Chain A
Amino acid sequence: MNALLLAMLLVPAAGIAVLYLLPQPLAERSATRIGFYAGGVVLALAVVLACVFKYARTGYQGTLDWNWIPALHIRFHLGVDGISLPLILLTALLSALCFFYSIRHMPEGGSRRSYTALLLLLEIGMLGTFMAADLILFFVFFEIVLLPMWALIASWGGDGAKAAANKFILYTLLGSAVMVVGFLVVFAYTDSFDIAWLTVHARGDVPKSAALTAFALMALGFAVKTPMFPLHTWLPDAHTAAPTAGSVLLAGVLLKMGTYGFVRIAVPILPQAAPTYAPALAAFGVVGVIYGSLACLSIARKPDGDLKRLIAYSSIGHMGFVLLGIGSLTTVGMNAALFASVAHGLITGLLFFLVGGLKVRVHSAKLDDIGRALYRRAPKYGVLIAFAAMASLGLPGLAGFWGEVLALFSATKPGSGLRQGSYIAMASIAALGLVLTATYLLAVVRRVCMGPAATASEEPVTELTAVETATWTPLILLTLLAGLWPAVVLGITNPAVQVLMKGV
């Protein structure tokens, strides 16, 4: 098991090496397939990891600890536990699906070799972030993600891609640079970057005032990534401009790196500072819920509303629930945040794939260009959109439901030191957001799927292709599984969350 984590990072690296060692024409031709093989092996390794993982045990498993830079006390320390396992699986799955999808649907813009190499580098960064058991190693992987995603958006993206890519990388870098200052403030008092050790000892070693500073700095970094309401402005542009695989991974995995940071690092390591900021996190989360839904509503009503942009804004709303869960500082809230993260990864991943498919068909993601009556023009595709929309609006029985309901539930009984009254008020407002979410998603379904075809000029839309079916089936099945049997995720996360939240 110890070699497994390292292997998951080395396989994509080996893929990159192969891509650049092969002669260029050959590499160019077979790039996406090489990418898929690497991504497939990583997914297989992730499945093996899930099989050998000891679910009864808490704490890191499969650790690998190597004294990398003694001068800075930085260790190459990997590990996996109940909090990171679901996210690692999600990452491996979505990456493999993106590779598979790219074999047939390579976006236009540049060489296949660079595209695949960037996706592989991205996968290393994403997996490493969830595996790191050392704060600086976490930061390194957190940063590795930036450059490939920037390049994917800038080179293979749509209109305004350059500006969107720059906005993405500058915002996120500002967040992560400030975040690492937070880590180093903690280090100044503890002389350690070991996440597990800090979770137990930092609360005693870091004085309150320093803890407040450090938490604020870290939270800023995670909040940009999540994104939290006033820091979200990079997200709609980046998601809209990115190529399909980029949007899927951006929404499906990258946003979760922010959530993960809160759940794994900020709250458990600095519990003495958490209650000061938790109400703000929750409040901004709720604002995000309402703001995201209203923005979506306005896009859904506009004639030239962009469906991709709509899904991007809906992410802000969904991540608002995640923040509400974290802000409650309870085990229920943390579990809700993790569950909602995984669910959002599956559902939004699927939605971005679907919009990407529409973009391939009608060369636009604008609602008007897509036209009406998909049920008639491409029944299976239409039903799939409706399914994804239902999952996204939190229909009971699908994955979107549990995370958001648990987040609301956690807010009614917030952790000690937090005022219950204000949290109940916030939960009520967020519940209103749930209704708004349903409103705009139903509006989209009505506009795109239902109704008579408005004009004869609306071309028939190609039905689901085999590649698409194969790519999306795992997401659909997992959305159903997580919705019908939430214990499959909560059973993994809960023991680990219990340990982390001890004494918060």
Chain B
Amino acid sequence: MTISSLVQNVSYAQIAAPLIVAAGAVAVLVAEVFLPPRRKPLVSWLSLLVLAGAAAPDIALWPGRTVGTFCMPRSAVGLYSLGAGTPQGLPGTCSYVADRFALIFQFIALAGAFIVVLMSAASMRRDRIPTGEYHFLLLSSVTGVLVLAASRDLITLTIALETVSLPAFALVGLKRWSGRSSEAALKFFLVSVASTGVMLFGISLVYGATGNVHFGPVAVHLQALSGGPIRHLAYLGAGLTLVGFGFKVSAVPFHFWTPDTYAGAPVPIAAYLSVVSKAAGFAGLILLTGTAFSPLLNKTGPLLAVLAALTMSLGNLVALRQRDAVRLLAWSTIGQAGYILVPLAAHDQGSYTKHINASIAYIIMYAAMNLGAFAVVHSVHTTSLDAYRGLAKTRPLASAALAFFLLCLAGLPPGLMGLFAKVAVFGAAAGSHLVWLAVVMAVNVVIALYYYLSWTARLFAAPDAATAAIGRSPATLRFAIGLTVLASVLFSVWPQSALGAF
């Protein structure tokens, strides 16, 4: 065996997107130091440029069929698989694969971060947020999401997930003058660290039982283990790993950090956590349940079904009682996460692969509408729901946009996008013979309608003393709202663009 046969070859075209964003993160941090104070806002534009530039290699990759990079050389597979099974037959020993799935999530991350940067561009000074650090941390976190979506082994997955989370703690706490912000950051940090610990323990058990970290071989070994004595160890490991991701997507009962963290963080960061970071969590969940742990679907399926039902029910019920816009959106994202989990709850491989595109399409559409809702909330400054009374009189366009986003979240026409997303998920549940889950979801859709609708009704009610007096929002923020409206309208009249993406 020669050394050259152990060296992995690297396809830079495939990893261009995370490389650009990572380099951009450093560039932004350095640039901020050398820019005179008057020119600091240029940093936001630099970030936008980096994010847009990172999309270019992904667009080039879109039509092709990628095989992956950082692959185990053939000769090393035998070494690596610890002798279990036949090494030659082991599928997928590449650590990074920029396939359709990965590219979709990378686009979500890049577009989502783009909107977040636009949202925050004009409010940095008002919120007294250090510009350079903010953009550095944001772009670092995005790098993590880009890698996570394309990662195909447990180690890369874990490191990517940590790259997503670590900058996020700091981002939540960036309003250093605010006690709530620090509390939110601390809470988020503790919960996240605990969940990472649990997940790492799970991964180590899976590794111990299967002797592999690449998803493909792990699946093969799990299949082979099904009658063996250490199978329980592997099941426990898989379960704990999923629990770790349950925290990331704020699935009940691992959700309790969400409302406090969102409420304490700067609003654009709450939007980032609710869309991009959550999408990363789902990407990980889908990768694990769909590939590495696919032989265990008959065990993870029922678990996720119960989790989905609990998540949507609790999220929507508690959202009913919220008086604060960001908290309401926080609980509503928990409810929405429950819907996204439904297609993952399929009990067998056939239904899982047939219906998983419902989850992916839901995440795409959810990204557009949720970012839009947060963008409008950010433009209103105060977050008390009473401040929204009669907003349609003073800010007709922003109110119309918010009403549209809320109806999309509720899934009621004219918010057709949300309706089709829900139909796709209902279809997944019915197709996987989980009619009970579909009915639970139907009830939840009704509960959710109530709070979305009463918020919408507030917008068009007569203004009173509590109504927020707000002027025109800055151009960048209006541009952000405009982009999300555009995306939402596109997905509403042409849902195929999202539903057929995967």
| Closest CB in chain B relative to A55 CB, distance in Å | 33
Residues from chain B with a CB closer than 8 A to the CB of A146 are 412-413
Q: B412 near A181 (CB under 8 angstroms)?
A: no
**Residue B424, interface by CB 8 Å:** yes
Q: B445 near A143 (CB under 8 angstroms)?
A: no
Cα(A154)–Cα(B457), bound, Å: 9
**Residue B435, interface by CB 8 Å:** yes
Q: A184 near B438 (CB under 8 angstroms)?
A: yes
**Contact flags (1/0) for A55-74 with B, using CB distance below 8 Å?**
00000000000001111101
Measured CB to CB, the nearest residue on chain B to A143 is B413
Q: Which of the candidate stretches A167-175, A341-349, A351-359, A492-500 sits at the interface with the other chain?
A: A167-175
Q: A184 near B423 (CB under 8 angstroms)?
A: yes
Q: A178 near B439 (CB under 8 angstroms)?
A: yes
Cα(A143)–Cα(B418), bound, Å: 12
Q: Which of A159-187 contact B (CB under 8 A)?
A: 162, 166, 169-170, 173-174, 177-178, 180-181, 184-185, 187
**Residue B11, interface by CB 8 Å:** no
Interface centre among B357, B419, B430, B454 (most CB of A within 10 A): B430
Cα(A181)–Cα(B426), bound, Å: 6
Known: A178-B442, A181-B430. A173 touches B449 (CB 8 A): yes
From the candidates A70, A147, A188, name the one contacting B412 in the complex (CB within 8 A).
Answer: A147
Measured CB to CB, the nearest residue on chain A to B445 is A177
**Residue B178, interface by CB 8 Å:** no
**Residue A37, interface by CB 8 Å:** no
Q: B420 near A72 (CB under 8 angstroms)?
A: yes
Q: B431 near A188 (CB under 8 angstroms)?
A: yes
Q: A166 near B431 (CB under 8 angstroms)?
A: no
Q: A173 near B412 (CB under 8 angstroms)?
A: yes
Q: B442 near A69 (CB under 8 angstroms)?
A: no
Residues from chain A with a CB closer than 8 A to the CB of B433 are 188
Q: A150 near B453 (CB under 8 angstroms)?
A: yes
Known: A72-B427, A185-B430. A144 touches B499 (CB 8 A): no
**Residue B302, interface by CB 8 Å:** no
Q: B427 near A187 (CB under 8 angstroms)?
A: yes
Q: B424 near A72 (CB under 8 angstroms)?
A: yes
From the candidates B419, B431, B449, B457, name the one contacting A184 in the complex (CB within 8 A).
Answer: B431
Known: A139-B423, A178-B442, A181-B442. A69 touches B499 (CB 8 A): yes
Q: Which of B427-468 contact A (CB under 8 A)?
A: 427, 429-431, 433, 435, 438-439, 441-443, 445-446, 449-450, 453-454, 457, 460
Cα(A81)–Cα(B413), bound, Å: 26
Known: A174-B446, A181-B435, A188-B431. A70 touches B496 (CB 8 A): yes
**Residue A213, interface by CB 8 Å:** yes
User: Please, how many residues of chain A have a CB less than 8 angstroms from a CB on the other chain?
Assistant: 34
Measured CB to CB, the nearest residue on chain A to B431 is A188
From the candidates A69, A74, A170, A180, name the one contacting B450 in the complex (CB within 8 A).
Answer: A170
Residues from chain B with a CB closer than 8 A to the CB of A217 are 435, 439
**Residue A136, interface by CB 8 Å:** yes
Q: A187 near B413 (CB under 8 angstroms)?
A: no
Measured CB to CB, the nearest residue on chain B to A155 is B460
**Residue A4, interface by CB 8 Å:** no
**Residue A231, interface by CB 8 Å:** no
Measured CB to CB, the nearest residue on chain B to A114 is B460
**Contact flags (1/0) for B352-389 with A, using CB distance below 8 Å?**
00000100010000000000000000000000000000
Residues from chain A with a CB closer than 8 A to the CB of B449 are 169-170, 173
Q: B431 near A140 (CB under 8 angstroms)?
A: no
| Closest CB in chain B relative to A233 CB, distance in Å | 15
Q: B446 near A173 (CB under 8 angstroms)?
A: yes
| Closest CB in chain B relative to A68 CB, distance in Å | 7
| Closest CB in chain B relative to A9 CB, distance in Å | 13
User: Please, how many residues of chain B have a CB less than 8 angstroms from a CB on the other chain?
Assistant: 35
Q: A72 near B413 (CB under 8 angstroms)?
A: no
**Residue B171, interface by CB 8 Å:** no
Q: B499 near A72 (CB under 8 angstroms)?
A: yes
Residues from chain A with a CB closer than 8 A to the CB of B361 are 71
Known: A71-B499, A166-B453. A143 touches B430 (CB 8 A): no
Q: B443 near A174 (CB under 8 angstroms)?
A: yes
Known: A71-B357, A71-B496, A147-B407. A213 touches B413 (CB 8 A): no
Cα(A125)–Cα(B413), bound, Å: 10
**Contact flags (1/0) for B191-214 with A, using CB distance below 8 Å?**
000000000000000000000000
Cα(A170)–Cα(B316), bound, Å: 14
Cα(A115)–Cα(B438), bound, Å: 35
**Residue B36, interface by CB 8 Å:** no
**Residue B228, interface by CB 8 Å:** no
| Closest CB in chain A relative to B184 CB, distance in Å | 33
Cα(A347)–Cα(B218), bound, Å: 70
Q: B453 near A187 (CB under 8 angstroms)?
A: no
**Residue B495, interface by CB 8 Å:** yes
Residues from chain B with a CB closer than 8 A to the CB of A170 are 446, 449-450
| Closest CB in chain A relative to B384 CB, distance in Å | 20
Q: B431 near A143 (CB under 8 angstroms)?
A: no
From the candidates A68, A121, A180, A184, name the one contacting B496 in the complex (CB within 8 A).
Answer: A68
Residues from chain A with a CB closer than 8 A to the CB of B420 are 69, 72, 74
Interface centre among A70, A71, A185, A213 (most CB of B within 10 A): A71
Q: A184 near B499 (CB under 8 angstroms)?
A: no
| Closest CB in chain A relative to B365 CB, distance in Å | 12
**Contact flags (1/0) for A5-26 with B, using CB distance below 8 Å?**
0000000000000000000000
**Residue B149, interface by CB 8 Å:** no
**Contact flags (1/0) for A68-105 with B, using CB distance below 8 Å?**
11111010000000000000000000000000000000
| Closest CB in chain A relative to B36 CB, distance in Å | 46
Q: B423 near A177 (CB under 8 angstroms)?
A: no
Known: A69-B499, A181-B435. A143 touches B419 (CB 8 A): yes
| Closest CB in chain A relative to B202 CB, distance in Å | 33
**Contact flags (1/0) for B476-498 with A, using CB distance below 8 Å?**
00000000000000000001100
From the candidates B416, B426, B495, name the one contacting A180 in the complex (CB within 8 A).
Answer: B426
Cα(A68)–Cα(B446), bound, Å: 26
Residues from chain A with a CB closer than 8 A to the CB of B441 are 177
Residues from chain A with a CB closer than 8 A to the CB of B427 are 72, 184, 187-188
Q: B496 near A188 (CB under 8 angstroms)?
A: no
**Residue B89, interface by CB 8 Å:** no
Known: A154-B457, A187-B430. A180 touches B423 (CB 8 A): yes
Known: A181-B430, A188-B430. A173 touches B499 (CB 8 A): no
**Residue B87, interface by CB 8 Å:** no
Measured CB to CB, the nearest residue on chain A to B432 is A188
**Contact flags (1/0) for A285-306 with B, using CB distance below 8 Å?**
0000000000000000000000
Measured CB to CB, the nearest residue on chain B to A141 is B413
Residues from chain A with a CB closer than 8 A to the CB of B426 are 180-181, 184
The 5 closest A-B pairs by CB, nearest first: A177-B442, A184-B430, A71-B499, A71-B500, A144-B413
14 examples of A-B residue contacts, CB within 8 angstroms = A69-B420, A69-B500, A71-B424, A143-B413, A146-B413, A150-B453, A166-B450, A174-B443, A184-B423, A184-B429, A187-B430, A188-B433, A213-B435, A217-B435
Sample of 19 further A-B pairs with CB below 8 A, known A140-B416, A181-B426, A184-B429: A69-B420, A69-B496, A70-B496, A71-B496, A71-B499, A71-B500, A72-B495, A72-B499, A150-B453, A166-B453, A173-B412, A173-B445, A177-B443, A177-B446, A180-B426, A184-B423, A188-B427, A188-B431, A217-B439
